[in-house]
Amino acid sequence: MEFEPSPEHRMIRDTVREFCESEIRPIAQEIEDEHRFPEEVFASLADLDVMGVPVSEAYGGLGGDQLTYALVTEELGRVSGGIGLSYAAHTSLGAKPIEAFGTEAQKEEWLRPLAEGDGIGAWALTEPESGSDASNMRTTAEYDPDADEYVLNGTKQFITNASVANSVLVKAVTDPDAGYDGISTFIVDPDDGFEVTTVWEKMGLNCSPTCEIRFDDLRLPADRLLGEEGEGWAQTMKTLDGGRISIAALSVGLAQGAYEAAKEYAGEREQFGKPIAEFDAIRDKIVHMYRQIERARLLTHKAATRYDAGDPVTKASALAKLDASEAAREVAEEAVQTLGGYGYTTDFAPQRFYRDAKLMEIGEGTSEIQHVVLGRELGL
Residue 42, C-beta contacts closer than 8 angstroms, at least 6 positions apart: 51, 86, 87, 117, 120
Nearest to 321 by CA among 260, 375, 252: 252
**What CA–CA distances, in Å, run from 242 to 63, 66, 278, 358?**
16, 8, 41, 20
DSSP letter at 196? E
**Dihedral sign from CA coordinates of 210, 297, 258, 83:** negative
Q: Cα–Cα distance between 7 and 297 in angstroms, integer?
A: 18
Task: For residue 364, indicate whether it is catalytic.
Answer: yes
3-state secondary structure of 92: helix
Cβ-based neighbours of 56, under 8 Å, separated by 6 or more: 63, 99
Task: Give yes or no for a contact between 141 and 172, defined as CB atoms under 8 angstroms apart.
Answer: yes
Instruction: State the Cα–Cα distance between residues 13 and 71, nearest whole angstrom.
Output: 6
Contacts of 8 (CB under 8 A, 6+ apart): 68
Count helices and strands in the chain by DSSP H and E runs: 13, 10
Measured distance CA(323)–CA(297) in Å, rounded:
9
Nearest to 124 by CA among 185, 178, 181: 185
Q: What angle do CA 63, 69, 71 make, to 5 degrees?
A: 135
Half-sphere exposure (CA, 13 Å, Cβ side) for 150? 27
**CA angle (282, 288, 294) in 5-degree steps:** 140
Contact 318, 80 (CB under 8 A): no
Q: Which of 333, 364, 368, 377 is catalytic?
A: 364
Catalytic site positions: 364
